[in-house]
Amino acid sequence: MRIGIARSLTDSMSGGVFQYEIVLLKALGELAKRYPEEFVYLCYNSGDLGILAGAGALNTNGIPVVPVSTSSRKLPPPEELLTHRPPTPLPFDPNIVKFDYAAADALRSNGVDLLLLLSPNMPGFNFRLPFVVPIFDLNHRLQPEFPEVSAFGEINNREHYYVNTCKYATLVLVDSEIGKADVLQFYGHLVKDDRIRVLPYYPPIVNRAAASAQDLARVRAKYNLPPRYFFYPAQFWPHKNHALILQAIKIIADETHEVVPVIFCGGYWTYLMAHNFKDVMALALKLGIADRVRYLGSVPDEDMAALYTLSAGLVMPTFFGPTNIPPLEAWHFGRPVITSDIRGAREQNGDAGLLVDPRSPKALAEAMQQVWRDEAFCAELVARGKRRLASYSWSTFVDSLGAIITEACERVRTGRTPSYPDAKPIPQTMQRA
């Protein structure tokens, strides 16, 4: 059986989605060496090859492909993005699908029997083939007050995507039992638990070594880092809740006069993110703490180990889950974690994170002060994080993914996949020909 692998057109500046795809590709690279089925990468944009090579996820016959030069997108000034307000399209029936018959025919003519989509950014159902796809979250249902999941027609787009994904997918992947419960809560009339498989995130730490002394010195000088700081790597979506960190820093300053800096990195690639970025930076000025807030932009992967290692710890008061990648990265690099007490966080973090109410600046300030001041407590958090991370096994992840693909292939062979509507009728002119 030939399995077509497809990913979204995101690059290394696109955050967690990109990291998740790269981890899956690396696992598939290991599976391909021993798997009875044939994998084929569906490259629908030539620039994708350079992106994958740069991430170390591209090889030929087992030989790694290494780019000899690097390039990255440059962030424009936020004002430039604010001039491009997205239109709000008219609502449409989420049950109506315009199938791509030409693409379906092309895939079938190339022998593709099953699609494996590495992230929920391509409507696999369009191609009328069996497909496997992850669902990261359903926050357009759980927290529609955030514009990134509801504004400018996004809630309609997401509903169309998830309705038809659940209706037609051979298997749906989720990252946790809570993720599975969410799918069943909102789309249980379309998909039962026999088509949902839990594949927990594996942190993007494969072959990611600790920062060397040279790297630490290089990164500290490159970004002119303060001696100590909290670190938050996140795109500037409103749900990432950067503002709460600023409010907590203000409380610490007012109550103790301590200078507690924070380093932000990540992009603001859209209209909504640019708005939020401007609001966050304006808030820092308003609170009188702009000197304690540093924004590095989108930073390359090779600097991340040092940025984590040099920090006092990760602070991540996000509103969205159920799971997130930065706590796993922080554990890997030996740093304590402060994150949100939200659905799924306890399942992921156990006792290895300091969990706070993402609506309480006071609670976050207290947590940050505890990490900032209490070395023994930090050492204990780091030890818990290492133990928690040890429960994530790369070989188990690869084997679990292999078992899921094996099951999907068997379902295809035995006809246990959801049926698509009858194909479009052949035009009479073609029938006469």
CATH 3.40.50.2000, the chain: domain bounds:
2-87+100-202+394-432, 213-390
Interval 99-128 mean pLDDT:
92
CA–CA dist 183, 28 (Å, integer): 25
Contact in structure between 348 and 322 (CB atoms under 8 Å): yes
List all residues 6 or more positions away from 142 whose beta carbon is below 8 Å from its beta carbon: 182, 343
Q: Which residue has the higher pLDDT, 70 or 3?
A: 3
Domain range 2-87+100-202+394-432, CATH class = alpha beta
pLDDT of the residue at 347: 83
Q: What is the DSSP letter of 175?
A: S
List all residues 6 or more positions away from 96 whose beta carbon is below 8 Å from its beta carbon: none
pLDDT of the residue at 426: 44
Interval 225-243 mean pLDDT:
97
Question: Which of the residue ranges 36-45, 167-176, 419-428 has the most confident prediction, judged by mean pLDDT?
Answer: 167-176
- Is the pLDDT score of 206 beyond 80? no
Question: Which of the residue ranges 20-24, 80-84, 282-286 has the most confident prediction, judged by mean pLDDT?
Answer: 282-286
- Is the pLDDT score of 428 beyond 60? no
Structure tokens at 388: 């928690």
CA–CA dist 67, 301 (Å, integer): 14
List all residues 6 or more positions away from 215 whose beta carbon is below 8 Å from its beta carbon: 302, 305, 306
Question: Mean pLDDT for the chain?
Answer: 90
List all residues 6 or more positions away from 131 whose beta carbon is below 8 Å from its beta carbon: 114, 115, 116, 117, 124, 125, 168, 169, 170
- Is the pLDDT score of 64 beyond 80? no
Interval 358-385 mean pLDDT:
97
CA–CA dist 390, 388 (Å, integer): 5
Give the number of other Cβ atoms within 10 Å of residue 426's Cβ.
Answer: 9
Neighbour-count burial for 281-308, b at 16+ CB within 10 Å, e otherwise: bebbeebebeebbbbbebbeeebbbbbb
Residue pointed to by tokens 């930073």 = 299
Q: Is residue 431 very low, low, confident or very high in pLDDT (cuts 50, 70, 90)?
A: very low
Residue 299 exposure: Cα atoms within 13 Å on the Cβ side: 21
Phi-psi category of 288—alpha, beta or left, where left has phi over 0 and alpha has psi -120 to 50? left
CA–CA dist 190, 293 (Å, integer): 46
pTM value surpassing 0.75: yes
Q: Is residue 433 very low, low, confident or very high in pLDDT (cuts 50, 70, 90)?
A: very low
- Is the pLDDT score of 402 beyond 80? yes
Closest by CA to 219, choosing from 389, 373, 333, is 333
Burial category of 424 from C-beta neighbours within 10 Å (exposed 0-12, middle 13-18, buried 19 and up): exposed
Interval 127-156 mean pLDDT:
95
List all residues 6 or more positions away from 136 whose beta carbon is below 8 Å from its beta carbon: 17, 20, 119, 120, 175, 179
Interval 96-119 mean pLDDT:
92
pLDDT of the residue at 201: 83
Percent of the chain scored above 70 by pLDDT? 90
Q: Report, at the CATH architecture level, how domain 213-390 is classified.
A: 3-Layer(aba) Sandwich (3.40)
- Is the pLDDT score of 107 beyond 70? yes
- Is the pLDDT score of 294 beyond 80? yes
